[in-house]
Structure 1
Amino acid sequence: MSKKKQQSGSLGDQLNADVLSKLQSKKSELKQQAVEREEQEKKRRMEERKRREANKSFEELLNESDLDWKSFKK
């Protein structure tokens, strides 16, 4: 019966503290890597958007503008 009680414990109880701490460390490391990847992707998208803006022609910029020549005409 004492064997059943030992087996019925939680997984955390069954693993030794060293293995558990290694798993928690790996989990936090993977989370940090995911955050860094997301930041790099965001930075890459911003740079790509700036590059596209810099390469636009005057006509494209004018077409995207909210200005209307009729509002300046009196």
Structure 2
Amino acid sequence: MGRKKEKQGSLSEQLNQDVVSQLQVKKAALKQQADKQQELERLKRIEEKQKREANKSFEELLNESDLDWKSFKH
């Protein structure tokens, strides 16, 4: 009877290890997917910012400038 318990114990341990392995693989895949999604969102924000910058009028660009235009008067 002692041998049956050992086999059952090792079988349940093996099943637990398989489940843990599968969960670790799934976790890694989900993390990779989340990282990819974050990168795509970051690239999208950069692209939107570039589009906004490209569509700004001269007046908007002038108002955002840090230069003091009065100091260039003669």
TM range (shorter): 0.7 to 0.9
Tell me the distance in 1 between the aligned counterparts of 2:14 and 2:22: 15
Alignment partner of 1:22 is 2:2: no
Residues 1-74 of structure 1: pairs in structure 2 closer than 5 A: 16-74=16-74
RMSD after superposition = 1.6
Higher relative CO (Cα under 8 Å, sequence separation at least 6) belongs to 1
Task: Return the TM-score normalized by structure 1.
Answer: 0.75
Instruction: Specify every segment of 5 or more residues in structure 2 that has no aligned partner in the other structure, as ranges.
Output: 1-12
Structure with higher helix content: 2
Instruction: Specify every segment of 5 or more residues in structure 1 that has no aligned partner in the other structure, as ranges.
Output: 1-12
Equivalent pairs counted in the alignment come to 62
Residue 68 of structure 1, CA deviation: 1.4
